[in-house]
Amino acid sequence: MLQPILTEWDSLCSAAKSLCRSFVPRSSLDSFFEPRSVAVVGASSTPGKPGRTVIENLIANGFKGRILPVNPRGGKICGFPVSKTIEELPSGIQMGIVMLPAAQTPAAIQECAERGISSVVLAAGGFAEVDHAGEDLQAELKEVIRKTGVRVLGPNTAGHISTPDRFTSSFFPLGKIPNGPISYIAQTGNFTGAMMRSIMSGEHYGVARCIGLGNAVDIDEADVLEFLADDPKTKSIFIYLESLHRPQTFLKIARKVTRTKPVVMLKGGATEGGAKAAMSHTASLGSDDNVLDGALKQAGVVRIDEFTYLFTAAKAAAMMPIPAGNRVGFVSPSGAFIVHISDICHQRTDLVFSKIAAATQKRLEDISPPFINISNPVDVFPSATVNGMEFAWREAMTALLKDPNVDAVVAILILADELGEMKLDFILDLKRRFPEKPIYISFSGDENSNAAAKSFLEPKGVPTFPRIEDPFKVLDILVQCRKSLA
């Protein structure tokens, strides 16, 4: 039932694109992610201007290749000699970042092609997402791309990031971007701007590749997914899309890649209101949402429904193994949390609280006061009042991690200066001892203590989730991913 609709959709959406591609051999995306040289067309010497920030970002990330600014005024920018025109550039340059106003971009692409630059990032907005004049301009752009065979990322993107190769085309002030196993594909330019700034300042995980597709006149989500599928630096893929330009191709690639890497996707424009908003954002129309939903599921892509999960689930995937199954051990400091989380897990997730082994049961009973009925989830506070907090949490978590019936352990710590310091080194020790099982930490109590625990644990690879619901929501997302992993 799905195939005909998708086929039709695919052919409708990408007819022009496929046509173009039949004439000119296209370069692979490799040169986007590991270029040896980059021209910045529209470079600026003025601090704060995008045409300067992009160069500062390259320097901050230690880009090893050549940086060649282009600006009619000439001179030097950030110490690099400036070419006055694209024509003046030396030959052999792989990548161009074009920071010109929209109207000048078709000509710039043409000139890049003539100078042998076959990969271009196009920053400007003002195309099909704004008005009819923009639509005409976008058509002109497509025609240049067709004729020249230049590969173009954008327009209407804040650029892309490739930390293994110390490269970025982002013109948002980022500084050094942390390297890690997560790659993002986003049909909004902003993902390599304020969003990346948010990750860098609030989280402790890093990215491999991060691509803002923008209007995707040439390079689309299927192209990028194909690149990431074979990218050894990418372990998990997180996607924000407002449309699928070539759904059938995308799903075909997805079916393959989800066997080796988790692929998690938020699809904007799932509702009529959202779709209307998407039209004026990236000039894109999503396909029928129910059809898409089923097709993504079949392809092993795990669909999420909140923007925030693009970061919380990515953190977990970056720091911990993907859980082997859905059986959770839960160490809670409060009966109310057990009641509430049981409801959440039952209503909204595939998670189950494992039936624990006899040895686990015995150990949990040993560390608890005699009058307490212990099971999983473990209400650990009675044990803490008798044995101290560190002992109680450590021994309960250890017992659950040892249990062959447990795939992952979530612990809510209760931290406050007034309760005395709780040393958390034991959690790092458990991470070392049980490398196959995810350990997620949440908190109850004093915010400053929670923040300190996050700052201690996360740089050492243990993810924390300040809200008690989050570790379970995230675990559920990754349990869904597990189902398609070979």
Residues in 310-369 at the binding interface with a second copy, rule: CB under 8 A: 333-340, 342-347, 353
The strand ranges marked E within 289-341 are 302-304, 327-332
Closest alpha carbon to 187 in 137, 144, 250? 250
CA distance 297 to 481: 10
Q: How far is CA 224 from the centre of its chain?
A: 13
Structural contact between residues 192 and 170, judged by C-beta atoms closer than 8 angstroms: yes
User: Residues touching a second copy: how many (CB under 8 A)?
Assistant: 73
Least distance from C-beta 88 to a second copy, angstroms? 30
Q: Which stretch binds a second copy (CB under 8 A): 26-34, 65-73, 141-149, 266-274?
A: 266-274
133 binds a second copy, rule: CB under 8 A:
yes
Rank residues 30 and 447 by Cβ distance to a second copy and give the closer one: 447
CA distance 193 to 77: 22
Contact pick of 194, 298, 433, 455 for a second copy (by CB under 8 A)? 194
Contact pick of 161, 225, 414, 422 for a second copy (by CB under 8 A)? 414
Closest alpha carbon to 209 in 191, 183, 189? 183
224 binds a second copy, rule: CB under 8 A:
no
CA distance 14 to 8: 10
Amino acid identity of residue 352, one-letter, is V
Contact pick of 129, 218, 231, 395 for a second copy (by CB under 8 A)? 129
Binding-site string for a second copy from residue 51 to residue 90, where x marks contact by CB under 8 A and - marks none: ----------------------------------------
Rank residues 365 and 446 by Cβ distance to a second copy and give the closer one: 446
Q: Which stretch binds a second copy (CB under 8 A): 61-69, 127-135, 142-150, 176-184?
A: 127-135
Rank residues 44 and 188 by Cβ distance to a second copy and give the closer one: 188
Structural contact between residues 203 and 464, judged by C-beta atoms closer than 8 angstroms: no
Beta bridge partners of 68: 39
Least distance from C-beta 131 to a second copy, angstroms? 6
Using DSSP's 3-state secondary structure scheme, residue 433 falls into helix
Beta bridge partners of 408: 328
Rank residues 140 and 446 by Cβ distance to a second copy and give the closer one: 446
Residues in region 420-449 near a second copy by CB under 8 A: 420, 444-448
Rank residues 296 and 414 by Cβ distance to a second copy and give the closer one: 414
Using DSSP's 3-state secondary structure scheme, residue 48 falls into coil
Q: Which residues contact 66 (CB under 8 A, 6 or more apart)?
A: 36, 37, 38, 93
CA distance 428 to 101: 51
Rank residues 22 and 373 by Cβ distance to a second copy and give the closer one: 373
Residues in region 372-411 near a second copy by CB under 8 A: 372-373, 377, 379
Q: Which stretch binds a second copy (CB under 8 A): 74-82, 111-119, 293-301, 464-472?
A: 464-472
Closest alpha carbon to 287 in 347, 333, 244, 351? 244
463 binds a second copy, rule: CB under 8 A:
no
Least distance from C-beta 86 to a second copy, angstroms? 25
Contact pick of 209, 281, 327, 437 for a second copy (by CB under 8 A)? 281
Q: What is the DSSP code string of 394-406? A: HHHHHHHHH-TT-
278 binds a second copy, rule: CB under 8 A:
yes
Q: Is the peptide bond before 333 cis (omega within 30 degrees of 0)?
A: no
Contact pick of 165, 220, 223, 242 for a second copy (by CB under 8 A)? 242
280 binds a second copy, rule: CB under 8 A:
yes
* Conformation bin of residue 100: beta by default, left when phi > 0, alpha when psi is -120 to 50: beta
100 binds a second copy, rule: CB under 8 A:
no
Cα four-point dihedral sign 427, 431, 434, 437:
positive
47 binds a second copy, rule: CB under 8 A:
no
Rank residues 3 and 201 by Cβ distance to a second copy and give the closer one: 201
